[in-house]
A and B are shown apart, each in its own frame.
Chain A
Amino acid sequence: AQSVAQPEDQVNVAEGNPLTVKCTYSVSGNPYLFWYVQYPNRGLQFLLKYITGDNLVKGSYGFEAEFNKSQTSFHLKKPSALVSDSALYFCAVRDLSGYALNFGKGTSLLVTP
């Protein structure tokens, strides 16, 4: 089955520092990978996706993600964190049916002033 893993339950970073939220994947064939963000008491919002092409994908709110096939990773990054980036981040992969996303357990990002 197509799956993703987020090894960190929580990531803490100081405002202005770079941030990385980790995701690894396990798939058959080529992966369709996504990142979503969830602010408190809100639904998930799409950040970015990797389907094919450049390994560095740029998305919303200054986020980017690097697809690494040899390490089966799709880490989310931002050069300079903001306090407003504090939220729950989910990595996801399209399943083999093509009609569902399989989500990781989520990583809570806390950016401190």
Chain B
Amino acid sequence: NAGVTQTPKFQVLKTGQSMTLQCAQDMNHEYMSWYRQDPGMGLRLIHYSVGAGITDQGEVPNGYNVSRSTTEDFPLRLLSAAPSQTSVYFCASSSLGFTAGELFFGEGSRLTVL
């Protein structure tokens, strides 16, 4: 059982480039989300989805796009990378009753923007 799988694990971009961070889960979870982790700031929510075709913004959505065409996949797109987007990105999923349950996290994608 793979759980939540993120690719790539590491990526270096130049300012202005675009890229997509991939996230897939095999637990049939309705809820999926993207967080970014920065030193001394904990984790901050970027976007989330409660099912295929449904997405919404979190605390720090600017510069990022998401879509949810299937239950399994929730890619995060950086449209025009900026150095401020250098961070570690985590995808997390859960059943919709997650407030009584728990989030399952991927192992992270470390992005550096030069």
- Identify the A interface with B (CB < 8 A): 32, 34, 36, 41-46, 49, 51, 90, 94, 98-101, 103-106
Are A44 and B42 CB-contacts (below 8 A) given A99-B48, A99-B56, A100-B58? no
Within 8 A of A (CB), among B73-110: 90, 92, 99-108
Residues of B within 8 A of A41 (CB): 107-108
| 10 contacting pairs across A/B (C-beta < 8 A) | A36-B103, A43-B92, A43-B106, A43-B107, A44-B105, A46-B103, A90-B43, A100-B58, A101-B43, A101-B45
Residues of A within 8 A of B50 (CB): 99
Are A100 and B33 CB-contacts (below 8 A) given A43-B90, A51-B100, A94-B99? yes
Contact B107 A42 (CB under 8 A): yes
Are A105 and B42 CB-contacts (below 8 A) given A49-B102, A98-B99? yes
Q: How far is the CA of A102 from the CA of B35 in the complex (A)?
A: 10
Contact B42 A103 (CB under 8 A): yes
Among residues of B, the one whose C-beta sits closest to the C-beta of A6 is B42
Among residues of A, the one whose C-beta sits closest to the C-beta of B58 is A100
Among residues of B, the one whose C-beta sits closest to the C-beta of A49 is B102
Q: How far is the CA of A99 from the CA of B57 in the complex (A)?
A: 10
Q: How far is the CA of A104 from the CA of B40 in the complex (A)?
A: 9
Cβ-closest 6 pairs across A and B: A43-B105, A46-B102, A103-B42, A103-B43, A105-B42, A44-B105
Contact B107 A34 (CB under 8 A): no
Contact B99 A32 (CB under 8 A): yes
Q: How far is the CB of A1 from chain B (nearest CB, A)?
A: 10
Q: How far is the CA of A49 from the CA of B107 in the complex (A)?
A: 21
B4 contacts chain A at the CB level, 8 A cutoff: yes
Question: Which of A32, A98, A100 is packed against the most chain B CB atoms within 10 Å?
Answer: A100
Residues of B within 8 A of A51 (CB): 99-100
